A = this chain, B = another copy of it.
Amino acid sequence: MDKWLKSLKTNTPQEGFELAITLSQMGVKYTQPSERVRKRLRPIYSNNAGNLISASHVIAVNFRTVAAANNYWQ
C-alpha cells in the first residue's frame, strides 16, 4: 500500500481526531481492500445506530493513541 501514515503528530487536537478517523478507516480498508464493496456497505452502517456507535468506539481508541503521541497537545 502507498504511504499514508508518516507521523502521529498533529498541530491541533481536532486534526488528531481526524487522524484517528483515518486510522479507523484504514483498519477497514486493509481488511476489505475493494473500494466497490466498502462503498456498498456505507449506506448500511451509516444508517444503523449500533454500527455508528461502534465506529465512534474505534475512533475513540485511535484518538487515545494519537492524543498520547502528542502529549495531549499540552
List chain A positions with a Cβ less than 8 A from chain B. Answer: 3-9, 12-14, 17-18, 21, 23-28, 30-32, 37, 41, 44-65, 67-69, 72-74
* Given A27-B59, A37-B46, also A32-B52 (CB < 8 A): yes
* Given A44-B49, A53-B58, A69-B67, also A6-B13 (CB < 8 A): yes
Q: How many copies does the complex hold?
A: 6
Query: 24 pairs across A/B with beta carbons < 8 Å?
Result: A5-B12, A5-B17, A8-B13, A8-B72, A21-B27, A21-B31, A23-B63, A24-B56, A24-B60, A27-B56, A28-B55, A31-B52, A32-B47, A45-B50, A45-B53, A51-B53, A53-B54, A53-B58, A57-B57, A60-B62, A61-B61, A61-B64, A62-B63, A69-B74
